A and B are shown apart, each in its own frame.
Chain A
C-alpha cells in the first residue's frame, strides 16, 4: 500500500483547491512504498474536464527522479465537481501501468475525496492509499 506523508497529501489538496475549477496534475515519487517527493506540473489543457502535463516539465521531473534515484509511484489529478473515479478518458490515456493514478475529487472547493487506482490494459482496480497522519 502506498504510504503518503500528511504534508504531501496536504500539498496535493492545496494544489487541487488552488487550480479549482480547473483540473490540476502532478507526480508523486519515492522509494518502495513510501512517497518522499511531490512535483506539481502545469496542466497544458487549462481545462475543467481534462489535463495534459506540460511535456517539458514532465521530462524535467523524470530527469530529476533519475538523478535522485527515486521512482514515479503515482500520478495525481483533480476531478473538479466530479467523483474520484477514473473516467473513460483517464482509462484511454493511462500509459503508465506501474503508477497508481490518484484522483482528488473536489466539489465547489469544499469537500475532497482522494482515491487511488491501477489502470492496466484498460482495467481499473482500486489501489488503497495509506494517507499518513501528521504524527506517523
Chain B
C-alpha cells in the first residue's frame, strides 16, 4: 500500500529536496514511523516528545485535517494524498 505525501519547504532538507514522497502505513502514526525510517528526524519535527502532533503542524488526508478525524490513528487507504502543512502564525510580542 502506498500513499503520496506533500512535504513543505522547511522539511525538504530532510527529504533530499523532494516536495513529494511516497510512504506506507495503515494509519498516519505508522506512516510517520515509515517516513522517519527513510528520512531520519522528520517525525521529531512533526511530533512532540509524547508523540502528539505539534500545535503548529497540520496534517491533511485528502484535504481533511486529521485532528477532525482520528488524529494519528486516522486510517489510510491506497492512493491517499497526505499534506503536511505548517501553520501560519506569529504575533506582535
Contact = CB atoms under 8 A, between A and B. Distances in A.
B65 A25 contact: no
Interface residues of A, number: 36
Contact of B91 (A41, A50, A56, A58): A50
A89 B91 contact: yes
A72 to B, nearest CB: 9
Nearest to A26: B88
Contacts, number: 84
Given A59-B83, A98-B9, A90 B63 contact: no
B8 to A, nearest CB: 7
Given A59-B58, A59-B63, A63-B63, A49 B91 contact: yes
Interface of B: 8-10, 56, 58, 60, 63, 65, 83, 85-93
Interface of A: 23, 25, 27, 41, 45, 47-53, 55-56, 58-59, 62-63, 75, 77, 79-82, 86-90, 93-98, 101
